[in-house]
Each structure stands twice: as C-alpha cells, then as structure tokens.
Amino acid sequence: MDFLHTVMDFVFHIDKHLDAIIGHFGVWTYLLLFAIVFAETGLIVTPFLPGDSLLFAVGVFAGHGDLNVLLVFVLLFLAAVIGDSVNYAAGKYFGEKIFTERKSRFFKKEYLEKTHRFYEKYGAKTIVIARFVPIVRTFAPFVAGAGAMKYLYFFTYNVLGGVLWVALFVFGGYFFGNMAFIKNNFSAVIFFIIIVSILLPLREILKAKRKKEPEAEP
C-alpha cells in the first residue's frame, strides 16, 4: 500500500518531484529520465512508472529553461524505441516458453496465436496506438515478439509511434506549460492526461468488440 501511495504521489505531483530531481542531479537528470522511459517501455515488470505525465512535465520544465528541449526529445525518443526493441526481444526469446509451459489463465497458447493474428492484421495501428496507452505500451512489444511479428515491420512503427508519443507530450508541455491555467492546476492536468490516455483506447476496444458480436436473432 505504501509503495502504491508513493507511485501515485510521484505521478500526480511530478512537477515537484522533477524540480527536486533537477536541483539534485543537475545534468545527470537527462540520464535518469532516459532510464525511467526505457524501463517503462522496455521492462514488463515496471509498467507503473510514469510515461505520459513525465514527458509532459519534462516539456514544461524545458519551457522554463531548466532542460534542453531538443536534447530531452532525442534522448527520450531513443529511450522509447530502444526500450520497445528490448521488450520485443524478450518476448521473442521468452514469450512462447511462458505461453506454452506455464499453466496460467493469463498465459495460454491460444492467446498468443490470437494476438499474432491480430498484430498481423492491425499491426501498424496497434503498435502506434499502444504508445499512448499506459501499461498497454509496456506489454505490447513483448506480445509482438512472442507472436513472431517481423522485427523490421515492428521497428518501423515502433519508431513512428515513438516520435509521435514523445513529440506530442514533450512539445505539448513545452509550448503550453506556461499557461496560467496549467500552472495553477498542474495535478489536475496530469490526472486528465492519464484518464484520456486510458478512456480513448478503451472506447475503441469496446467499439470493436461490439462489432464482432453476432447480432441477436429476431
């Protein structure tokens, strides 16, 4: 419970924590930010790390002159792409073993096969959209690797999704972070970003599920 409280406090008061990090670590902050984004996208055991909110806050601080906006954009883009590639590799080498050898309702062979077909059909859209969905973006590359998606295909849309994701939030914070409303309601803005990131994709998933359901016979 204390761990969850710590994570939630960091996410919703990320402006205060990031300010303290910059003040304490100075130029090493760039490396720390790289590590956080890499871990959030590259390690399936750390989906709780901040993603969207962190990128937006980084953009805000860059707008204040505390960070170099172009440097953080390049570093966080690389962290996202490399993280997803590592995650994909982990899925490729360990995913099938997990799905076939572990007896669990969460790791079943049919899930892997269905995911593989889904990725082959909607791969481009799925990889890009997954970037904007907390938690999902952590598991999507692993499943893509486990489902034997071709790496070149995955990498192409991994790069595209990484550019769009980092650019949207970092430059969004950079250009709009100085607005009085955002300054005075930063925690509420972060909460809004998280909710929208979850609800919009959920809406699309539910819509797609309804379309697949057979119509009731009269």
Domain locations in the chain as residue ranges: 2-194
Per-residue confidence (pLDDT) for residue 109, from 0 to 100: 59
Mean pLDDT of 63-70: 94
Per-residue confidence (pLDDT) for residue 2, from 0 to 100: 62
Answer whether residue 4 shows pLDDT above 90.
no
Task: Indicate the DSSP class of residue 26.
Answer: G
- Which stretch, 42-56, 77-91, 120-134, has highest mean pLDDT? 77-91
Per-residue confidence (pLDDT) for residue 218, from 0 to 100: 46
Average pLDDT score, the chain: 79
Mean pLDDT of 72-79: 97
Answer whether residue 10 shows pLDDT above 60.
no
Distances (CA, A) of 64 to 25, 181, 185: 17, 16, 17
Higher pLDDT, 36 or 120: 36
Instruction: Check if the beta carbon of residue 61 is closer than 8 Å to that of residue 20.
Output: no
- Which stretch, 49-53, 97-101, 175-179, has highest mean pLDDT? 175-179
Per-residue confidence (pLDDT) for residue 174, from 0 to 100: 94
Share of the chain above pLDDT 90, in %: 31
How would residue 123 be classed by pLDDT, with cut points 50, 70 and 90?
low
Per-residue confidence (pLDDT) for residue 217, from 0 to 100: 45
- Which stretch, 8-17, 55-64, 66-75, 138-147, has highest mean pLDDT? 66-75
Instruction: Check if the beta carbon of residue 131 is closer than 8 Å to that of residue 101.
Output: no
**Torsion of Cα atoms, 80 then 48 then 126 then 71, to 10°:** -20
Instruction: Check if the beta carbon of residue 126 is closer than 8 Å to that of residue 201.
Output: no
Per-residue confidence (pLDDT) for residue 85, from 0 to 100: 95
Contacts by 188-191 with C-beta closer than 8 Å and gap 24+? 189/56, 190/11, 190/12, 190/14, 190/53, 190/56, 190/57, 191/12
Task: Indicate the DSSP class of residue 147.
Answer: T
Share of the chain above pLDDT 70, in %: 71
How would residue 13 be classed by pLDDT, with cut points 50, 70 and 90?
low
